[in-house]
Amino acid sequence: MAGQIVDTPTAQEFMQEISKQVSEDELESIAASLEAKAQGFHDLLGHGRAAALDRDGLRRVLRSVFSSRRKADAIIDLVGERELIEGISYLLDSTDDLPERLDHFAALLIDFPEAAFDLPGELLHFTYPDRFWLWSRWMWDPRIETGSLRLVVEEEFDLQGDSRGEVYFKVGEAIAFVNETGKAAGFTSIGRGLLGIDIFLACVYAVYMYTVLRLRMTQEFNKIVPPLPELVRRLLGIHKMEV
């Protein structure tokens, strides 16, 4: 059944290209850093600890997410330290339906649309990596219908939805199929549990970006783009990680 959803040949082609550009040692290093990020988020936020955060803790979390790293202080100042802490606590610890919690948190960051999109999935996934999956724009952006997930999932699989919560569950379903196929085909073996699919999808997007940039940019611009392993680390929020 997974083969009907996952474009396995394309996923394997991406894995071959990834292997050419990222060494096995580098992939293992990325996996170790991602494990450390998950542990750091869990230690700061897990099991009700989010309610006891202070500004320093908030900054460490925000600076460990690609889309909020450079805006950490601005987000805290504009949203409000207490409001942001309460929003994170509600997202992670409330028994309300998950779609309602996702919408509530995104609404807090209405002035920071990129962070509003990425942060809920990052907070849920890295605090409880065995319960929740990651959803960031580089994986699937329903507004422009692009992302690494779309590149390895068959076009017939609908990733759209009528609400943010519905799309989150669609993304989760697709990730589950990619992960299951990846176990058999060997392209999600780096990293524990769903962290392996994070690494694979980040690498897919990085390879895709490099391909597009080579076609569209001059050689001078290409020199500005970081090496592929660093780009993967940036996407995953583990470049100069602070948690």
DSSP per-residue string spanning 112-160: -HHHHHHHHHHHHHHHSTTT-----TTT-BTTTTBSHHHHHB-TTS---
The residue type of 150 is R
Rounded to the nearest integer, the mean pLDDT of the chain is: 91
| CB hemisphere CA count around 222 (13 angstroms) | 11
Tell how far CA 111 is from the center of its chain. Answer: 20
CB contact burial 93-105 (16+ within 10 A = b; e otherwise):
beeeeebebbeeb
Where residue 88 falls among pLDDT bands split at 50, 70, 90? very high
Q: Domains in the chain: how many in total? A: 1
Helix or strand or coil: residue 188?
coil
Mean pLDDT calculated for residue range 229-238:
95
In this model, does residue 207 exceed pLDDT 90?
Answer: yes
* pLDDT attached to residue 216: 62
Scan for tokens 């920071």, then name that residue: 112
Q: What is the pLDDT of residues 116-145, one digit of tens each?
A: 999 999 999 999 999 999 999 999 999 999
Q: Is residue 84 part of a domain?
A: yes
Give every CB contact of residue 187 below 8 A, 6+ residues apart in sequence: 11, 12, 14, 15, 200
CB 152 within 8 A of CB 3: no
How many residues are present in the chain?
243
Within a domain: residue 242? no
Structural domain of 154: 2-236
Q: Is the pLDDT of residue 1 over 50?
A: no
For residue 35, is it within any domain?
yes
Please answer whether residues 181 and 7 qualify as being in contact, where contact means their C-beta atoms are separated by less than 8 angstroms.
Answer: no
Give the pair of three-digit tokens for residue 179.
């992960």
Question: Is the residue at 129 inside a domain?
Answer: yes
